[in-house]
């Protein structure tokens, strides 16, 4: 079942202020409170929905993630198990391993660990980076250096958020659970601890550099390997290269969304390429050889049979795009466009008139098209 939009649930616009959100939440929670709606079957579910929506939108970090990615921002992880990822490169220049996803969008940030309320609250956001590349780069693959504005673990406090020496202590409100339970009539409602924001820890003496967040804003330079065969819509995940988590929480992932630009010469359809090639009237009539460009920057010589018409297609095997995960190379289709000569000299015109006289036996009026047209006209008369 599709999840409803959080703003819609609360009945506010995307630009709603914290105050407006709070007001809307209070009104909805009152209206839908299970104690007053014991005869409405879905009241409890709707009440929970309202709580969940407000839980996200009242938190600036979560709200930002939701605005960017929607519900996918909180649906758990690629790796299944969740939990902190140890030892990924945190340096200024990290050469990243990448996984390529070009499947359904459902893969995007799907399935992270579920349930773990505390870690979910502290995990850094996933980031999206849009990368436009040329078709020839998609053909060969490329190494790309990108700059990503993100937040990284604070080096002053090693990501703990505490001034050196001061250890974070368990939150007294929730005893480190990150959640508090409240009895509301018949129901027990569990919600994020208001004191620690779900982290389960408080810091009495926060780090002066990061203000206790355990992370600081910074541009990161990444060296990304874009594999051959990518196309518009291909996503590349760089695990652990997203935003640093809060107070040492697990780092989010970075997703590179590839867009392959249109090419002035080649059109792409999956692994195949096509290309319109002009050919002179004489070559088309008499036959000959033409040179066509190929995506690797080279050229191929192609035989044009005598009597080729405009629109004739020819296939150059294995001159298309590589498949993303191996499995061969596509073909290139050439479509001929026979060009009518222009700016004729008087000698050329003379020759063409002579040619015309000699061509009376094979003029268009004897073609099957005109035979059909004649039948059509005769049919209209009767
Ligand atoms: Zn710090
Ligand atoms: Zn707490």
Higher-pLDDT residue of 168 and 78 is 168
Q: Which residue has the higher pLDDT, 125 or 289?
A: 289
Tell me the ligand closest to 176's alpha carbon.
Answer: 2
Ligand 1 center–CA 58 separation, angstroms? 24
Ligand 1 center from residue 153 Cα (angstroms): 8
Confidence (pLDDT) at 223: 92
Nearest bound ligand to the CA of residue 197: 2
Q: Which of 76, 163, 177 is nearest to 120 (CA)?
A: 76
The Cβ-side half-sphere exposure at 243, using a 13 Å CA radius, reads: 23
> pLDDT-based confidence at 102, cuts 50/70/90?
very low
Q: How far is CA 10 from CA 13, 22, 26, 162, 303, in A?
A: 9, 9, 9, 36, 68
Please tell me the distance from the alpha carbon of residue 201 to that of residue 162, in angstroms, as a whole number. 11
The CA 138 to ligand 1 mean position distance, Å, reads: 41
Cα separation values, 31 from 21, 36, 84, 230, Å: 15, 8, 40, 50
Torsion sign, CA atoms 266, 272, 278, 283: positive
Q: 94 alpha carbon to ligand 1 midpoint, in Å?
A: 21
CA of 335 to the centre of ligand 1 (A): 63
- Separation of 146 CA from ligand 1 center, angstroms? 26
Q: Which ligand is nearest to the CA of 174?
A: 2
**Ligand nearest to the CA of residue 208, numbered in listed order:** 1
Tell me what pLDDT residue 306 has: 96
pLDDT tens figures, 222-270: 999 999 999 999 999 999 999 988 888 889 999 999 999 999 999 999 9
CA 273 / ligand 2 centre spacing (Å): 59
Residue 368 token pair: 């099957």
Length reported for the chain = 382
- DSSP string of 198-225, one letter each residue: TSSEE-SSB-TTTTTSSEEEEEEEEEEE
| C-alpha atoms less than 13 angstroms from C-alpha of 312 in its C-beta half-sphere | 17
Distance CA 61, CA 64 (A): 5
Ligand nearest to the CA of 118: 2
Q: Among all ligands shown, which has an atom nearest to the Cα of 179?
A: 2
pLDDT the model gives residue 78: 33
CA 202 to ligand 2 centroid distance, Å: 7
CA 71–ligand 1 middle distance (angstroms): 30
Q: How much distance in Å is there from the Cα of 118 to the middle of ligand 2?
A: 10
First-last CA distance in the chain: 64
What is the CA(184)–ligand 1 centre distance, in A?
38
Q: Is the pLDDT of residue 98 over 50?
A: no
| Residue 80, pLDDT score | 31
CA of 216 to the centre of ligand 1 (A): 8
Q: How far apart, in whole angstroms, are the C-alpha atoms of residue 92 and residue 88?
A: 12
Q: What is the pLDDT of residue 188?
A: 80
Instruction: Name the residues around ion ligand 1, CB cutoff 5 A.
Output: 154, 156-157, 207, 209-210
How many A from CA of 248 to the centre of ligand 1? Answer: 10
What's the DSSP call for residue 162?
Answer: B
- DSSP helix/strand/coil, 302: strand
Residue 334: pLDDT band with limits 50, 70, 90: very high
What φ, ψ does residue 347 adopt, rounded to 5°?
-65, -40
Which of the ligands is closest to the CA of residue 195? 2
- The ligand minimizing its distance to the Cα of 193 is 2
Ligand closest to CA 246? 1
CA 173 / ligand 1 centre spacing (Å): 24
| Ligand 1 center to 149 CA (angstroms) | 18
Please indicate whether residue 131 or residue 72 has the higher confidence score (pLDDT).
131
Q: Of the ligands numbered here, which is closest to the C-alpha atom of 154?
A: 1
Q: Say if strands 254-260 and 127-133 run parallel, antiparallel, or are unpaired.
A: parallel
From CA 313, how far away is CA 348, in angstroms rounded? Answer: 29
Contact 163, 207 (CB under 8 A): yes
Q: What is the pLDDT of residues 339-366, one digit of tens each?
A: 999 999 999 999 999 998 888 766 666 6
pLDDT, tens digit, for every residue of 15-52? 888 888 888 888 887 777 766 776 777 777 787 888 88
d(CA 213, CA 153): 9
The alpha carbon of 195 and the centre of ligand 2 are apart by a number of angstroms equal to 5
- Cα 319 from Cα 231, distance rounded (Å): 17
Report which bound ligand comes closest to the CA of 209: 1
Q: How far is the CA of 158 from the centre of ligand 1 (A)?
A: 7
**CB 121 within 8 Å of CB 199:** yes
Closest CA to 270 of 243, 221, 305, 233: 233
More confident residue, 1 or 193: 193
For residues 117 and 305, give the distance between their C-alpha atoms in angstroms, rounded to a whole number. 70
């Amino acid at each position: 079942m599709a999840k409803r939009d959080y703003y819609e649930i609360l009945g506010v616009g995307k630009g709603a202020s914290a105050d407006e959100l709070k007001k809307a939440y209070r009104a909805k929670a009152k209206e839908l409170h299970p104690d007053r709606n014991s005869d409405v079957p879905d009241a409890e579910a709707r009440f929970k929905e309202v709580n969940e929506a407000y839980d996200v939108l009242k938190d600036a970090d979560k709200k930002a993630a939701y605005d960017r990615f929607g519900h996918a921002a909180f649906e758990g992880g690629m790796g299944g198990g969740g939990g902190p990822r140890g030892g990924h490169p945190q340096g200024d220049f990290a050469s990243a391993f990448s996984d390529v996803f070009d499947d359904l969008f459902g893969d995007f940030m799907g399935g992270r660990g579920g349930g773990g309320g505390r870690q979910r609250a502290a995990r850094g956001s996933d980031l999206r980076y849009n990368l436009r590349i040329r078709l020839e780069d998609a053909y060969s693959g490329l190494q790309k250096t990108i700059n990503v504005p993100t937040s990284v673990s604070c080096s002053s406090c090693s990501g703990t958020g505490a001034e050196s020496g001061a250890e974070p202590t368990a939150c007294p409100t929730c005893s480190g659970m990150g959640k508090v339970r409240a009895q509301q009539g018949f129901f027990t409602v569990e919600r994020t601890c208001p004191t620690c924001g779900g982290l389960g820890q408080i810091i009495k003496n926060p780090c002066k550099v990061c203000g206790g967040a355990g992370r600081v804003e910074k541009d990161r330079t990444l060296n990304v390997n874009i594999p051959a065969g990518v196309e518009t819509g291909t996503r590349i995940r760089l695990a652990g290269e997203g935003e640093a988590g809060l107070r040492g929480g697990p780092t989010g992932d970075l997703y590179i969304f590839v867009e392959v630009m249109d090419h002035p010469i080649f059109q792409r359809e999956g692994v195949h390429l096509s290309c319109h090639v002009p050919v002179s009237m004489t070559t088309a009539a008499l036959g000959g050889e033409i040179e066509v460009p190929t995506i690797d920057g080279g050229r191929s010589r192609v035989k044009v049979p005598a009597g080729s018409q405009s629109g004739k297609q020819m296939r150059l095997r294995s001159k298309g795009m590589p498949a993303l995960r191996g499995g061969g190379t596509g073909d290139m289709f050439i479509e001929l466009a026979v060009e009518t000569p222009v700016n004729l000299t008087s000698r050329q015109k003379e020759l063409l008139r002579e040619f015309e006289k000699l061509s009376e036996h094979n003029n268009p009026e004897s073609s099957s098209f005109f035979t059909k047209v004649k039948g059509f006209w005769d049919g209209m008369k009767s």
